[in-house]
Structure 1
């Protein structure tokens, strides 16, 4: 097995940090919702995203970004022969695209670097 050196590149650290920020930021507000809302159902959660025009705009924006990401994710992961790429699909919906996208980019960078090292040997 090819050993990656350095352990993490600068861009990998950036992507990993963004994944952590994406996880923390989105789940901070999700936790507040579940702590302080009377109706904590997923239906109510989704309904509240459409209560104002700015919320509807952001929801539409994120929906298009999420679909675009998932189409590209499948294409790119298969092209690079990444293992377990399908896990990013449920992560996108169960946690947040703000988490799954930079996390996928982190693993993508690592796969690209590993492939380059393999070719050099």
Structure 2
């Protein structure tokens, strides 16, 4: 890869750390609200709550579209960089845990793998 296209090694590690922090924020942030909902569902089913009004419906469609796009990206990128055997794990985890957690986690792990690959190539 030409030097002008490579991400500096330190930059890859910093970016991976940022992705890991976002994954942690996504995990804690979504599950704080999920647990609060489970403690007091106010008569709504979980998915029914997603579409309780126009604002929540807009946010739900936004998250669903991003989750599907992220899933496709993780599968395609996983295959491209040789992770096809296990990249698919992120897809069901996105819907079971939160795409706000799994997508930045995938990006962090990917960044570290690219860093290691660049160090081996030299």
**Structure 2 unaligned blocks of 5 or more:** 1-8
Q: CA RMSD in A?
A: 1.9
Partner Cα separation in structure 2 for residue 88 and residue 39 of structure 1: 31
What is the TM-score when the length of structure 1 is the normalising length? 0.84
Q: Which of 18, 35, 38 is the aligned partner of 1:34?
A: 38
1:38 shift after superposition = 5.8
User: Which residue of structure 2 lines up, in the alignment, with residue 100 of structure 1?
Assistant: 102
Which segment is superposed worse, 19-28 or 108-117? 108-117
What is the TM-score when the length of structure 2 is the normalising length? 0.84
Does the CA-based 8 Å contact 2:19-2:105 persist in structure 1?
yes
Stretches of 4+ moved more than 6 A in 1? none
User: Which residue of structure 2 lines up, in the alignment, with residue 19 of structure 1?
Assistant: 23
Q: How many residues align?
A: 112
